[in-house]
Structures are given as C-alpha cells and as structure tokens.
Structure 1
C-alpha cells in the first residue's frame, strides 16, 4: 500500500481516514546509499521531511530513482504518482544535499492543497504555506539572487492567477515578472486538489555551471550523466569518449567519480576547444586528455579501454544517410578493436534508421545489453549499450 504523505505537506481539511494521520517512517543511518565503486559521500544530517519532485527526461525516470536510492537510500521514501517523467519522494536529509543529483533536470518542493480551484489559494493560510515553501527553496541556494517570481500554470494570465502571483511576490519582496522571473512556482491539478511546486534554483538543476562554451549538438548535463550511468562505470576505468564535442560526457564521468584514464577524441578543432574550456571551468582539465583523431582510425592499441561512449552524428547538417551509415559501421569496428573483452560501449543517436540498417553488421563481436529511447529538445533519441563479447 502506498504511504501517505507527511501531514505538514497537505493543506486543507483533515481526512477522517486513520491512515491519513500516519507519517512515513524515514530510517536514519550514518551511511548513505552507495553505488558500487562510487566514492563515499557523507550522509546528510537529518532534517524536517519534505515532499520533493525530481523531473527527469521522459524515459530516464528509473535512472533518477536509482540515483536517489544509491546516494540517499536511508533518507528517501518514494511516493507513487501518475505523472510521467517525475520522481516524487519524501527526503529527510539536508535539502542542499539534493543539489548533487546528476540525473535530475528540475528539482521542486511539492505541497498539496485540498481545494477545488486556485482562487481558494488566496486565503491567508494557504498563501502563508506557499510563501514558506518558496523561502525554503530560496535557502537551498542562498548565493543566488532571484530577479522575480514567475507562475507556471494553465491560465497564468487570468485575474485569479495574476492576483495570486502579485500577493506572493509582495510577501517575498520580489517583483511579479510572469515572463522573466526566475523564481518559478508551478500550479497544477492533483489527485485530491491542487499541487503547488516551488522550483529550486534560478535555473533548472540540470543546467551546469561549467558549461561556458556550447557546441553544435551538445548534450545536456543530465543526458551525459545518464550515458555515464548506463556504461556501468567503475573507479579503475580507462574511459574513452568518441566524438566528444563540448566535453559533457567526460565531465559527467569525472563528476561520477575517479577513473584510471580519461580520453576524449574529436576530429573538429572547435569541438576540442569547447571541451577544453568546459573542462577547465569544471576544474577537471588536468584529468582529461583531448586528442584530434578520426574515430575510424584511432591511435590506440588493441583493448586499451574499458568503457566507451559516443554521441553519434545525425541529420543533414552533419552528413547524409549514406555517409552516416558508413561512419557508424567503421566506428563500431574501431571501437571493437580498442575495447577490451567484456568492456562496454554506449551509443546515442537520433538517426534510428542508420543504426537499424547496420543490425547484424555493427553488432558482430558485440552483445546488446539494452536499449532505451527518450525525448530531448523535441527529438526522440535512442541509446544502446553493448558489451564486447569476443
């Protein structure tokens, strides 16, 4: 049976159900959940349990849930919810510890109001609860200076929503800037009334501070972190990022934990420059070796690497369907040569047809461990994980 939410996170008439008075039990421990091989992290000290929502790209929710369990398993209680692309959970540790999540695109504090329509949220009791939540998320990132409040809701330009936004902003001593505000309050219908989500940070959590230079087709930090997780990393890895672009995968791999060797290759100078700038901003430049090389003829000995990742090119701006098929085939052959037996190769592309056209060819010597698709920037990407089998 699904556990009820803590009573402090529900605002409205009390339920007559005995179960509604129960609070989920959050186990306390001096150790946080650890991914096998992941560097140890200190467990967050106990705090008031709050209900949080972590938003992931649709198709990557299970990875976010796994990250929560691995890092904070003694402090997290998952809460069932029908909304796709989200993980709802009660967290009893320090709120700032959640800022370390690599697979969470947006992090919000959730409060449920048992009301039929948003107009009721204008009551002093409900306004005070919303303002309290916004102050809580502002304290999670105290160094950030918010420029204004923005409502994210259907009908946000209606008189009721405008009045609600203005009154909340006034209590926070912020302007109500519904087009440009960076303190975001989302309102949406819930199962028993309305859910109000207060976003953490002036930017989504998935926006990386180290990204100083964008390169065409650069992966977001959360997607890069997902590819790293799917590669099943280990501290002793020799890791190679083919077609490294702006360096997102390399940086996220080192944010995961240490590696024996980190190498990124690309044959475009502008891409390597972007990787240099971003890895420098991340404080990781001296731990990454960047080389200009063609992925079809790499300057490495056989079985030089344990983990490989590649964000394969796609689309007419990169190449034709025929040239992509040829590139994919040759890249797989070269990856097979330099990957040790039992090593992993993670590939991502939006050109599904080119990858499908090579089934039975690129997979020679590889065993397909899994495949998933997820949405990003309006496109549907496909990710496959292979293991070298011979």
Structure 2
C-alpha cells in the first residue's frame, strides 16, 4: 500500500478486554430493531416483556422499533419477532463525507468495536459491508475502506459479516450509522436447513403463533404446513402436547421433517400427508388452527384458490372445536374476506396488514362462532 504524505494512518481497533466487555454490560445503548412492516407493535411488546425496565421504546417508525437498552447486548439475540437489531449512533453532520472526520470516525470505529467484541467468542466477524444510498460512490468507497482498515476487517462487496447502514437521521438533520449486532439476521433461523420456495418468514410465523393465544391442553393443527415455519415457531412459544402439521406433498413434508429435526422438535410435532379439504379427523378435533394459504403467485394460482379456499374454510370449520381460533395469512385478500364475511361458522376478530417481499398480505384471526 502506498503511503500518502500528510495523511495519518488509522490505528486498528484493539479487541475489547474482559474488563471492557464487563463494563459494556452496564452501558446504555440506542438500538433499532428491523421488523416486518405491520408487526411493529408485536416487537415493541416483546421487548418490553423480555427486558422490562432495561429497555425503553423511543419510536415505532414503519418497519422498525427504536429503543434504548441498558445491559448486555447479547441478551437481544433472544428476540423472536425481529429481522435484525442494530446499534445506532447519531452524527450531527451535513453529509456522509463528514464521517471521515476524526471525531465522527472514532465514534463509528467504537460502534464497530462494541459489535466485534459481542461476536468475538462464537462467531468472529471478518468482513465489512456498507448499505447506503450511493454505496458505489467514491465517498462511500473511501468510508468503507477506511472503516475496514481501522476495524481490521476485509471490505466486502456484498453481504459482509459486519453490516453497516448509513442513512439520514430519522428526526431532524444529521446522519446515522447503524451496525447490525449479529453476522446473520436474527430472522435467519438455525433450524432452517431446508428452504422451500415460498417458505414463510420466521418472524411472521412467530407472530401468528402468538396471535393464537393457545392455552394448556389446546389441540393444534397447521394446515398446508409447508416446510414447517409455523409449526416450529409455534412449538417455541407453547408447550403443546398435541401439534400436527399436514400437507398434501410428500416432498414438502420431507423438507419440513429436516427443519423439525434440526430444531430438535421431532418428539413434539407430528407430520401427516393429507388433503386439507378432506382431513382424517373427527368433528371438533382442534382448538387452534393455523395456515399459510397459497398466495396464488409463487405457489398456486388464483384460479386454483377460487376452488381451494372455500373448501378449506368449510373443512376447517368441521374439525374446529367450539370457540376455536384460526390464524391464517394470505395475499388473496378480496377472496378470503368475501368468503369469511358470508361464512356461517367463522367470524373475523382481527386483521393485520403487513409488507412481505414487496407484497401486502394480511394475517387474519378468525374465531368459530359456536
């Protein structure tokens, strides 16, 4: 590397000492949880339930929950409804180029060192990636190279271990740097070793499980269970002794079995190959029903759904016990709402509109009338 007269070389970030890591456990941080748009209230509730007075919700902009947190950042990895959590630093600067100034650069380098120390033992970070508008500009490239050098990381063109976002401040003037706390998003579950096309986002499945409000002894079934996202997230929330997943495809069930085995839930979840329109169960068999219905795009078609949806709703009502809950997600909003509105068994209790991979599906909470 050529030297440049008059330019100071950036010192590498030293690893945090045990004392520094202990002190960081008592520090207060500004954080932002990235969430599926429409599910912000569930993440805010989870943060408050898990961390109590250690966390204070500051704001809930679309697709995020901003909060302060006092304690060990490793505790945040237990969050189940978030895509990822970022450490946030606000900079009173007019443009990103000012991040190269000594004061702001030191602040970002310290921000990086906190995250590096957090991951040092189990998953040391090696590469750095910057996500920002104009990320291919000369200024952003200089910021990337400078931060990578100072933090002793290798610059990455895509999907680095240490992920930094640079964006305008949420409020007022200035800019923010956000550093993801983990090498992988929290929504990327360890159990997902078989990723079937159209598989439901794990955090959405987690929220659907929570909406079921299952009680001890409830009998639960996941119709059209696919690769097992809802089943696994449901089992993580409830200690269910009767949880069944059904799907018509043997190939899909094989994929679900791989994920369930990885999650070590093979003794909890039972899989069955069956047609959701003609189920091998007696009337009134289940207290909780869940389904990720075909959106009619990647999976299925609108023409097929015109036949499937009414038959599935009728069969679900047959196997549902009195006052059973049915939690379903679909992008076929008009079709589903029309069917429910005229159905003599199901009534709609709640509807949640979300944004998922550029689509706007809705989660429905239905209840059996009697």
Task: Sort the TM-score into its range (normalised by shorter chain).
Answer: 0.7 to 0.9
Match of 1:186 among 165, 169, 174: 165
Measured after TM superposition, the shift of residue 235 of structure 1 is 4.1
Tell whether the 8 Å contact from 1:325 to 1:358 is kept in structure 2 after alignment: no
Deviation at 1:61, TM superposition (A): 0.9
Give 1:319 deviation, angstroms.
4.0
Are 1:202 and 2:183 counterparts? yes
Structure 2, unaligned runs of 5 or more: 1-23
Shift of 1:199: 0.7
Contact between 1:146 and 1:182, CA under 8 Å: does it hold in 2?
yes
1:291 aligns with 2:272: yes
Instruction: Measure the CA separation in 2 of the matches of 1:279 and 1:116.
Output: 50
Residues 314-329 of structure 1: pairs in structure 2 closer than 5 A: 314-315=295-296, 318-329=299-310
Relative to structure 1, the CA distance from residue 175 to residue 77 in structure 2 (aligned partners, 3 Å threshold; closer, same or farther) is same
Counterpart secondary structure, 2:194:
coil
SS in 2 for 1:237: coil
Please state how far the C-alpha of 1:287 moved relative to its aligned partner. Answer: 0.9
CA gap of 1:95–1:317, structure 2 versus 1, over 3 A, is: closer
Does structure 2 conserve the Cα–Cα contact (< 8 Å) formed by 1:262 and 1:288?
yes
Please name the residue that 1:93 is paired with.
71
- The answer as to whether partners of 2:196 and 2:227 remain within 8 angstroms in 1 is yes
* Correspondence for 1:369: 349
8 Å CA contact 2:245, 2:269 repeated in 1:
yes
**Correspondence 1:109 to 2:90:** no
**Would you say the 8 A contact 1:220–1:248 is kept in 2?**
yes
Secondary structure of the structure 1 residue equivalent to 2:354: strand
Q: Which residue of 2 aligns with 1:157?
A: 136
Shift, 1:46, TM fit: 6.2
Instruction: From 330, 335, 352, give the equivalent of 2:333.
Output: 352
RMSD of aligned residue pairs (Cα, Å): 1.9
Q: Distance in 2 between matches of 1:60 and 1:257?
A: 20
Question: Deviation per CA, 1:322-364, whole angstroms, max 9, x where unpaired?
Answer: 4312211111112112222122101111122321342433x32
Deviation at 1:139, TM superposition (A): 3.0
* Residue deviations 1:144-188 (CA, integer Å, cap 9, x gap): 233411111112222222222111111211112233423111111
Q: Does 1:379 align with 2:325?
A: no
Q: 1:234 to 1:110 in 2, by over 3 A?
A: farther
Any gaps of 5 or more consecutive residues in structure 1? Answer: 1-44
How does 1:200-279 map onto structure 2 within 5 Å?
Answer: 200-279=181-260
TM-score using structure 2 length: 0.88
Distance in structure 2 (CA, Å) of the matches to 1:328 and 1:252? 24
Answering whether residue 101 of structure 2 is matched by residue 123 of structure 1, we say yes
Q: 1:178 to 1:385 in 2, by over 3 A?
A: same
Displacement of 1:373 in angstroms is 1.5
Aligned residues of 1:372 and 1:383 also touching (Cα < 8 A) = yes
- Checking the alignment, whether the CA contact within 8 Å between 2:227 and 2:255 is kept in structure 1 is yes
TM-score (normalizing by structure 1): 0.84
Q: CA deviation at 1:88?
A: 0.3
Task: Summarize the Cα distance change of 1:236–1:132 in structure 2 as closer, same or farther, 3 Å threshold.
Answer: farther
Q: Which contiguous aligned blocks of 4+ residues in structure 1 show a shift greater than 6 angstroms?
A: none
Rounded to whole Å, the distance in 2 between the matches of 1:149 and 1:66 is 32
Question: How do residues 28-47 of structure 1 correspond to structure 2 at under 5 angstroms?
Answer: 47=26
Deviation at 1:91, TM superposition (A): 1.0
Worse-superposed segment, 116-125 or 218-227: 116-125
Distance 1:316 1:189, change over 3 A: closer
Alignment length (residue pairs): 344
